C-alpha cells in the first residue's frame, strides 16, 4: 500500500460519509484533499543530473571517499537520496540531501570495496517530493560505468594474520610440545586453543568455569627440523623464502634446545644432516646454525631462466624432453629423491617439523607425507610466496596471477591439512609470537 | 537574534497548523477532533508520516461526523472555511520533510516576522472569524509558494474552478430541501472526474510503512 492510497481511501470514506449522513461537509473536505493531491502530483516533475568521482584504483576493505555532484534541473525543491548499485560485497553509505530549484550540490560519502576488477555503475538518484508521497529514480546509462581495480590490502592481510597468529601458534606449540604422556600433571583454566577433549567436566561443574587437564610432557622424543633449501625456496630477490626459513629454523632450534633436536637440510644436490644430540643445550643450536650456511643459487641453475634468443622457437615435445634431461645433466635430482634421501636415516619414532615449499612439487610431497605420517608425528610449516612478493614489483597482471596462485594454494593447504597439520607462514610470522609466548626465555 | 536561532521554521509551521486547527475547530464548535491535535503535532515533530496519515484520516472523519452542513447553497462559508483550510494546513505541515536548513533555525528576520504575524492573526481570528480565515488562507498560500510548483498551482486552480463551476451550474438541480446526499454525490462525481483528468499519469509512489519505533508492524 502506498501513502497516497491512504489519502485516496480517506477521500472515498469522506464521500461515503457525506452521502450516508446527508452532510456536504465531508464531501467538501474530500474534494479539498483531492485538489491538494492533484496540486502535489502535477507539481512534481523532477529532473536530476549527477556525476560521480571515484578513484580507479582502490584497496580491499579500505573506505574510499566518493564525490557526487547532483544538480536539480526542475523548479521544485527536492529531497535527494543516493542509492548505490554496487557489486556484491561492496558496502556504501546512503546519503540524502535537499536541493532547491536549479541548485547544484556536492555530496561526499564512503564506499568499502572488495578485491577484484569491477565495472562500477553510476549511483541511482532518488528524487522525492517534500511531502514524501512521490519519487522518481534517475540512473545514467550503462555506458557511464567505469572500471575499477580493487587491490588486496596488505595492511589488512597483515592485521588478519596477526589476529589469527596467536591462536595458530598455540596449536603449533601444542603440536611441537604435544608429546604428552597420559599422566596428569595439573588442572588449569581453559585457554583459547586448548583441545576440548582435555576439558575436565567434573572440575568444570564443581568450579563453575571451564577447567582443562594438563598432562606431563614427553621430553625424551627426538625432534627433527627438515628444511627444504631447493630451487623453489630460493626464488625472490628481496625477500626469499629461504632467508625466512633459515631464521625460522634457528628460532625453532633455539626453542627446542631442551629437547633432543636434529636438523636435516636438503636441496636439489644433496642432504646435510645434524643428528639429534644426546646432550641438550646451546651447543646443539650452534651446530645447527653452522649447517645453515646456504649458498646462492648455482649459476648453472640460472641458465634455465635466461630468456630465449629471439627467433628461436622450440617445439613443445622438445621443451618437455629438455626439461626432463637437463637436471640430470646438471647433477640435480628430483624433489622426491632429495626428500626421500633426507628422511631415510631418521630414527623409528620422532617428531618432524617440515619447512618446505608446497606449490612446486605438491604431489610428491603429499605421497611422502602420507607414508611418513604412519610412523611420525609431523608439522608442516610452509612459507606463503604471496606474502614474500616484493610490493614494488606488483602490477595488475602480477596481481591477478598472484591471486590465482593464492586460490590454488588455499586448496593445497586444505588438502595438506587433511594429511598433516600445516601452517601457512609470512615473512613476519612466528618470530614475535615465539618471543611473546616466552618460549625463547 | 536569540529567537532567530532557537525557533525552527518547520516546527513553527507545524505549531501554527495545530493552533489554526484548534482555533478553527473551536469557531466551528468541534470537540472530538481537537483531542487528536496534540498526538498529530507530536507525530509531525517526530516525522512519522505514516502514523500521522492514519491519525489525520481519523481526524477528518471525526470532523465530518461532528460538523454538519445540510445544504451547500445555504452554508456558513466562514465557519466551513475555518475548518477546511486549517485541516489542509495541518495535512501539509504533517507531511512536509524537515531539511537540514529548517532544523537550524530562522535564517532571515522576515521569516520570523511573518510567522509571528500569522500566529497573532490566528489569535485575533478567534474573535473575528473573517480575519482568521484570511490569516489561515495566507499561511497556506505562503507555505505552498515555497514549492514553486507552477504546474501544481495551475492544476489546482483548474480543478477548483471546474468544481466551483459545476456547483454553480448545477445549483438549479441540487438546491433542494434535504438534498445533502445528492449534493455530496454530485461533488464526489465531479471531483472524481477532475481527479482522473490529472491523476492518470503514472508516478512512483512512496510505500506506506506503519512502524512503531524500530519494529515494522505493517
A66-80, A266-280, A311-325: least confident range: A311-325
Record the pTM: 0.59
Q: Out of A14, A39, A44, whose CB is closest to B153?
A: A39
- pLDDT for B218: 42
Q: Is the pLDDT of residue A38 over 70?
A: yes
Rounded CA gap, B116 and A26, in Å? 31
A52-56, A367-371, B61-65, B212-216: least confident range: B212-216
B202 in A contact zone (CB under 8 Å): no
Contact A36, B149 (CB under 8 A): no
Pairing of strands A180-189, A211-217: antiparallel
Q: What is the mean pLDDT of residues A81-93?
A: 86
Nearest CA distance, A179 vs chain B (angstrom): 56
Contact A169, A192 (CB under 8 A): no
Q: Is the pLDDT of residue A299 over 60?
A: no
B76 in A contact zone (CB under 8 Å): no
Record: contact A134-B97, CB cut-off 8 A: no
A17-26, A115-124, A296-305, B28-37: least confident range: A296-305
Q: Which residues pair with A79 in a beta bridge?
A: A98, A128
Pairing of strands A134-138, B204-205: antiparallel
Q: Which residue of B has its CA nearest to A128?
A: B206
Which chain B residues are closer than 8 Å to A137 by Cβ?
204
Q: Which residues contact A437 (CB under 8 A, 6 or more apart)?
A: A169, A173
Crossing angle, helix A24-43 and helix B49-66, to 10 degrees?
150
Q: Out of B95, B163, B208, whose CB is closest to A1?
A: B208
Per-residue confidence at A60, pLDDT binned at 50, 70, 90?
confident
Q: Is the pLDDT of residue A171 over 50?
A: yes
B175 in A contact zone (CB under 8 Å): no
A39-48, A220-229, B28-37, B197-206: least confident range: A220-229
Q: Is the pLDDT of residue A433 over 90?
A: no
Q: Which residues contact A435 (CB under 8 A, 6 or more apart)?
A: none
Q: Is the pLDDT of residue A16 over 90?
A: yes
Nearest CA distance, A139 vs chain B (angstrom): 15
Each residue's pLDDT expressed in tens, for chain B with a length of 218 residues: 444 444 556 677 788 888 889 888 888 888 888 888 888 888 777 778 888 899 999 999 999 999 988 888 888 888 999 999 999 999 998 888 766 555 555 566 676 777 777 778 777 877 888 888 888 898 888 888 878 888 889 999 999 999 999 999 998 888 888 888 999 999 999 999 999 988 888 888 888 887 655 444 44
Distances (CA, A) of A123 to A56, A72, A73, A87, A285: 16, 16, 18, 12, 62
Burial of A79: CB neighbours in 10 Å, binned 0-12, 13-18, 19+:
buried
- pLDDT for A297: 39
Q: Which residues pair with A189 in a beta bridge?
A: A211
Count the residues in chain B: 218
- pLDDT for B217: 45
Rounded CA gap, A398 and B69, in Å? 83
Contact A98, A78 (CB under 8 A): yes
Q: Which residue of B has its CA nearest to A77?
A: B147
Which chain B residues are closer than 8 Å to A35 by Cβ?
156, 159-160, 163, 191, 194
Q: What is the mean pLDDT of residues A340-354?
A: 77
Record: contact B204-A7, CB cut-off 8 A: no
A262: cell is 636434529
Q: pLDDT higher for B118 or A64?
A: A64
Q: What is the mean pLDDT of residues A47-67?
A: 86
CB pairs under 8 A between A and B: 221
Q: Which residue of B has its CA nearest to A138?
A: B204
Q: What is the mean pLDDT of residues A194-199?
A: 77
Which chain A residues are closer than 8 Å to B56 by Cβ?
10
B177 in A contact zone (CB under 8 Å): no
DSSP 8-state class, residue A138 = E
B78 in A contact zone (CB under 8 Å): no
Q: Is the pLDDT of residue A406 over 60?
A: yes
Record: contact A38-B194, CB cut-off 8 A: yes
Which chain B residues are closer than 8 Å to A40 by Cβ?
149, 152
Nearest CA distance, B36 vs chain A (angstrom): 16
Per-residue confidence at A438, pLDDT binned at 50, 70, 90?
very low
The per-residue pLDDT for range A248-270, each reduced to its tens digit, is 787 777 777 777 788 888 877 77
Q: Which residue of A has its CA nearest to B197?
A: A38
Q: What is the mean pLDDT of residues A111-121?
A: 84
- pLDDT for B88: 93
- pLDDT for A39: 93
Per-residue confidence at A7, pLDDT binned at 50, 70, 90?
very high
Nearest CA distance, A85 vs chain B (angstrom): 19
Q: What is the mean pLDDT of residues A90-117?
A: 86
Q: What is the mean pLDDT of residues A38-62?
A: 87
Nearest CA distance, A120 vs chain B (angstrom): 26
Q: Which residues pair with A197 in a beta bridge?
A: none
Per-residue confidence at A222, pLDDT binned at 50, 70, 90?
confident
- pLDDT for A429: 64
- pLDDT for B213: 52
3-state SS assignment for residue A211: strand
Q: Is the pLDDT of residue A53 over 50?
A: yes
Q: Is the pLDDT of residue A291 over 50?
A: yes
B75 in A contact zone (CB under 8 Å): yes
Rounded CA gap, A189 and B173, in Å? 95
Per-residue confidence at A131, pLDDT binned at 50, 70, 90?
confident
B30: cell is 468541534
Q: Out of B57, B100, B203, whose CB is closest to A41?
A: B203
Rounded CA gap, A441 and B153, in Å? 85
Q: Residues of B numbered 54-73 whose beta carbons fall under 8 angstroms of chain A's beta carbons: which are they?
A: 54, 56-57, 60-61, 63-65, 67-72
**Radius of gyration for the alpha carbons in chain A, expressed in angstroms and rounded:** 34
Q: Which residues contact B90 (CB under 8 A, 6 or more apart)?
A: B17, B18, B20, B21, B37, B40, B56, B59
Record: contact A22-B70, CB cut-off 8 A: yes
Amino acid at each position: 500500500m502506498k501513502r497516497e492510497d491512504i489519502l485516496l481511501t480517506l477521500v472515498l470514506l469522506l464521500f461515503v460519509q457525506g452521502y450516508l449522513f446527508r452532510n456536504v461537509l465531508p464531501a467538501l473536505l474530500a474534494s479539498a484533499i483531492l485538489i491538494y493531491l492533484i496540486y502535489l502530483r502535477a507539481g512534481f516533475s523532477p529532473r536530476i543530473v549527477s556525476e560521480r568521482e571515484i578513484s580507479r584504483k582502490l584497496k580491499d576493505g579500505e573506505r574510499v571517499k566518493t564525490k557526487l555532484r547532483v544538480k536539480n534541473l526542475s523548479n521544485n525543491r527536492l529531497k535527494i537520496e543516493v542509492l548505490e548499485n554496487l557489486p556484491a560485497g561492496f558496502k556504501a553509505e546512503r546519503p540524502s540531501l535537499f536541493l532547491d530549484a536549479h541548485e547544484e550540490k556536492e555530496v561526499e560519502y564512503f564506499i568499502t570495496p572488495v578485491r577484484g576488477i569491477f565495472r562500477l555503475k553510476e549511483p541511482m538518484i532518488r528524487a522525492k517530493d517534500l511531502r514524501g508521497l512521490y519519487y522518481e529514480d534517475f540512473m545514467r546509462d550503462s555506458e557511464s560505468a567505469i572500471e575499477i581495480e580493487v587491490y588486496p590490502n596488505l595492511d589488512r592481510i597483515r592485521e588478519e594474520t596477526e589476529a589469527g597468529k596467536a591462536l595458530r601458534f598455540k596449536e603449533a606449540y601444542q603440536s611441537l610440545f604435544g608429546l604428552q604422556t597420559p599422566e596428569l600433571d595439573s588442572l588449569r583454566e581453559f585457554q583459547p586453543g586448548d583441545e576440548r577433549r582435555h576439558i575436565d567436566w567434573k572440575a568444570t561443574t564443581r568450579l563453575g568455569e571451564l577447567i582443562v587437564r594438563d598432562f606431563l610432557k614427553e621430553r625424551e622424543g627426538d625432534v627433527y627440523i627438515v628444511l627444504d633449501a631447493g630451487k623453489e625456496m630460493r626464488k625472490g630477490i628481496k625477500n626469499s623464502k629461504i632467508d625466512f626459513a633459515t631464521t625460522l629454523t634457528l628460532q625453532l632450534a633455539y626453542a627446542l634446545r631442551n629437547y633432543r633436536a636434529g636438523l636435516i637440510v636438503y636441496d636439489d644436490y644433496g642432504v646435510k644432516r645434524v643428528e639429534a644430540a644426546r646432550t641438550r643445550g646451546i651447543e646443539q643450536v650452534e651446530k645447527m646454525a653452522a649447517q645453515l650456511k646456504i649458498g646462492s643459487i648455482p649459476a648453472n641453475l640460472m641458465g634455465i631462466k635466461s630468456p630465449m634468443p629471439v627467433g628461436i622457437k622450440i617445439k613443445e615435445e622438445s621443451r618437455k624432453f629438455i626439461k626432463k634431461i637437463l637436471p640430470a645433466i646438471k647433477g640435480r635430482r628430483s624433489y622426491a629423491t632429495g626428500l626421500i634421501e633426507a628422511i631415510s636415516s631418521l630414527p623409528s619414532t620422532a617428531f618432524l617439523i617440515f619447512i618446505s615449499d608446497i606449490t612446486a612439487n605438491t604431489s610428491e610431497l603429499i605421497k611422502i607425507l602420507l607414508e611418513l605420517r604412519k610412523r611420525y608425528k609431523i608439522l608442516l610449516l610452509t612459507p606463503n610466496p604471496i606474502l614474500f612478493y616484493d610490493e614494488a614489483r606488483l602490477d595488475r597482471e602480477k596481481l591477478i596471477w598472484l591471486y590465482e596462485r593464492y586460490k590454488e594454494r588455499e586448496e593445497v593447504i586444505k588438502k595438506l591439512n587433511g594429511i598433516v597439520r600445516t601452517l601457512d607462514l609470512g615473512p613476519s610470522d612466528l618470530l614475535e609470537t615465539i618471543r611473546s609466548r616466552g618460549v625463547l626465555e | 537574534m536569540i529567537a532567530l536561532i532557537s525557533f525552527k521554521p518547520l516546527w513553527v509551521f507545524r505549531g501554527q497548523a495545530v493552533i489554526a486547527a484548534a482555533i478553527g475547530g473551536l469557531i466551528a464548535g468541534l470537540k472530538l477532533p481537537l483531542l487528536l491535535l496534540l498526538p498529530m503535532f507530536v507525530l509531525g515533530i517526530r516525522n512519522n508520516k505514516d502514523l500521522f496519515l492514519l491519525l489525520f484520516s481519523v481526524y477528518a472523519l471525526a470532523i465530518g461526523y461532528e460538523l454538519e452542513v445540510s445544504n451547500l447553497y445555504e452554508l456558513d462559508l466562514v465557519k466551513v472555511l475555518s475548518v477546511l483550510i486549517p485541516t489542509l494546513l495541518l495535512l501539509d505541515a504533517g507531511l512536509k520533510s524537515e531539511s537540514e536548513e529548517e532544523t537550524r533555525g530562522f535564517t532571515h528576520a522576515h521569516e520570523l516576522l511573518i510567522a509571528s504575524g500569522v500566529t497573532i492573526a490566528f489569535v485575533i481570528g478567534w474573535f473575528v472569524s473573517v480575519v482568521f480565515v484570511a490569516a489561515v488562507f495566507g499561511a497556506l498560500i505562503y507555505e505552498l509558494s515555497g514549492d514553486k510548483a507552477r504546474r501544481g498551482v495551475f492544476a489546482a486552480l483548474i480543478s477548483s474552478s471546474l468544481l466551483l463551476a459545476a456547483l454553480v451550474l448545477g445549483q438549479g438541480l441540487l438546491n433542494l430541501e434535504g438534498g445533502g446526499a445528492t449534493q455530496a454525490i454530485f461533488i464526489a462525481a465531479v471531483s472524481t472526474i477532475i481527479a482522473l483528468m490529472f491523476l492518470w499519469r503514472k508516478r512512483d509512489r512512496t510505500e506506506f510503512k506503519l512502524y512503531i519505533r524500530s519494529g515494522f508492524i505493517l
